[in-house]
Amino acid sequence: MEPLDMERRVIEAAEALARSLGNDPNHTVAAAAMDTNGRIHTAVNVFHFTGGPCAELVTLGVAATAEAGPLVAMAAAGDGGRGLISPCGRCRQVLLDLHPDILVAVPTVAGPRMRPIAKLLSDTYFFPDTQAKRVFSFNRRYYDAVVSGRKTSSVRWDEQIAVGPAIFYFEDDAECPPLRGEILEVQRYRLSDLTPERLRLLNGEATEGYLEGLQRHYPAMPPDAFVDIVDFQVIPSGLDHASMNS
């Protein structure tokens, strides 16, 4: 997918830091990452023959020091005008384990593109004990409906959604702060089996119209795809997750 404006800021931050690197062979790659509050954290690699950390991993430490929480976008760039570069296999595994919902910028012939980390490391081992915080992303146009409780479900295709606490992140809009929420249930259906009831449609809205909009949102979705209907709720301020389940 093409980068949103906020994701382009991440790419630009990584590339700007990479351009500032001198001729020190120990620091040759820069990385930048954005948290759910729109803050950008940057760092460089530390090359060493014993296996010094990549810029992406140093950036994770910098972000953790700043109490950034889960990260939503990352980019890395090389010195000497190399521009945007893809993460190595180790970085992909760490990102998948610690920030499973992050989007990573990769170079393509059509320019920078954002890829879900799970797509960069498919069919891999997932370390179960990381206790990674999850992020559930929305288009910013849904902010008011989610905050007010009018919208409590969403249909997703080819996304990794897990039941449990999550940060609701509204893409590309710093004026829509993240919300604490919870994924209550994920139900999977084939497109042909969707009904107005399963889609939570109100006021007589037709299934056909909804599916046309879903196809525009996911242009690569095949006609026989399975989709997930995700039920969720916003956790009111001051109410922790434990009390929600007591």
Identify the CATH number of the domain in which residue 85 sits. Answer: 3.40.140.10
**Taking the CA of residue 90 as centre, how many other CA atoms within 13 Å lie in the half-sphere pointing to its CB?**
8
Which of 120, 143, 164 represents a domain boundary (last residue)? 120
Q: What is the pLDDT confidence band of residue 244, given thresholds at 50, 70 and 90?
A: very low
Q: What is residue 69's predicted lDDT score, i.e. its pLDDT?
A: 93
Q: Hey, which residues are catalytic here?
A: 56
10 and 40 Cβ atoms separated by less than 8 Å: yes
Q: Residue 208 domain-assigned?
A: yes
Calculate mean pLDDT across residues 157-165: 93
Per the structure, how many domains does the chain have? 2
pLDDT at 45 over 50: yes
Stated as kind and residue range, the H or E segment containing 31 is: strand 29-35
Report the chain's mean pLDDT, rounded to a whole number.
91
Calculate mean pLDDT across residues 168-197: 93
DSSP assigned state of 161: -
Q: What is residue 51's predicted lDDT score, i.e. its pLDDT?
A: 85
96 and 126 Cβ atoms separated by less than 8 Å: yes
- Tell me the per-residue pLDDT of 205-234, one tens digit each, with 9 for 90 and over: 788 888 998 999 899 999 999 999 999 999
22 and 94 together in one domain: yes
Calculate mean pLDDT across residues 118-134: 84
d(CA 95, CA 97): 5
Q: Report the sign of the C-alpha dihedral through residues 72, 139, 151, 216, in that order.
A: negative
Q: Residue 231 domain-assigned?
A: yes
Residue ranges making up the domain that contains 198 = 135-244
Q: Residue 126 domain-assigned?
A: no
228 and 155 Cβ atoms separated by less than 8 Å: yes
Pairing label, strands 71-78, 103-106: parallel
Q: What is residue 97's predicted lDDT score, i.e. its pLDDT?
A: 94
Calculate mean pLDDT across residues 175-185: 95
16 and 114 together in one domain: yes
Calculate mean pLDDT across residues 115-135: 87
Share of the chain above pLDDT 70, in %: 96
Share of the chain above pLDDT 90, in %: 79
pLDDT at 238 over 80: no
DSSP assigned state of 23: S
Q: What is residue 150's predicted lDDT score, i.e. its pLDDT?
A: 93
